[in-house]
Amino acid sequence: MASTGYYIHRDFWKHEMGRGHPECPQRLDAIEDRLLVTGVADALDRRDDMPLATLAQITRAHSAAHLEHLEALHQRLVADEGVGGPEHAQVDPDTALNRGTLLAARRAAGAAIAATDAVARGELANAFCAVRPPGHHACREQAMGFCFLNNVAIAARHALDEHGFSRVAVVDFDVHHGNGTEDILSGDPRVLMTGIFQHPFYPFSGTEHPAENMANVPVPAYTKGMDVREVFDMVCLPRLESFRPQMIFVSAGFDAHREDELGQLGLNENDYAWITERIRDVARRHAKGRIVSLLEGGYHLDALARSVETHVRVLADL
């Protein structure tokens, strides 16, 4: 039987945004250690050799001008390195490139594409991509919110254009609204995007006249796991069922965990297991089980590692 793929690459460690930044390489160390010590890693098909996303693949979701802007920032950092130039180029107050960022971002998008190919072809049952930098805030024309290239939007468009699917879904359970994914995929009838997020909260979007293919579910701060399950059951799942996706992509952010200080929601590992089980069940009914999950947020290292383990256990039927 096909197994669960686990996509990881050393390039993801090369991106960092400065001392003390929550979106740090240690996030992947925590995940790797947890999967190893629990034995979950032994049950996964580890894949750590994937190509960089190409310009043609990236521009399914972003403009060429956006990629050119990132490349110009990267080249300026490289050119100034020998004369004691800065280590980072600031994109917004919370988001910065270093000399490894663009490589990591293109590799992360490449991992999303490689996982999509393997799952679409039946080589893998499903996949989890432990990628950095995350992607769901990256808009068609703008990097923001720790994100540079929108991995899930690039992968979803790749599935539609290269594998002949006519309906794919994106489920986003990060504490923050995936405004970049909505910006790119809004109005595309081939895609349904749904998920929960804290509101009002950064990036203060997702509630103003969303397109018909957007099933956003804002929830207030301090909402606990059982209430999140209820709204997921009442809104997200019926939309997924009626849409009948042929492949499901997950923006898997774990910063809605009650121990994560970057958000104020109250989820725990059992809630992530429940949500993943529901997504898996929809995928089995309509998409031959095809799921590609991509890491987004999650900044309390221990809570992140435990939550990823739980999420992957469900995907792998462990």
**Which residues are part of the catalytic machinery?**
137
Number of Cβ within 10 Å of residue 284's Cβ equals 13
Question: Are the CB atoms for 11 and 103 separated by under 8 Å?
Answer: yes
Instruction: Tell me the HSE value of 202 on the side-chain side, using a 13 A CA sphere.
Output: 12
Measure the CA–CA gap between 23 and 85, rounded to whole angstroms. Answer: 23
Measure the CA–CA gap between 298 and 304, rounded to whole angstroms. Answer: 5
For residue 200, say if its preceding peptide bond is cis, omega within 30 degrees of 0.
yes
Bridge partners, residue 251, by sequence: 172, 294
Number of Cβ within 10 Å of residue 275's Cβ equals 26
Pairing of strands 291-295, 191-198: unpaired
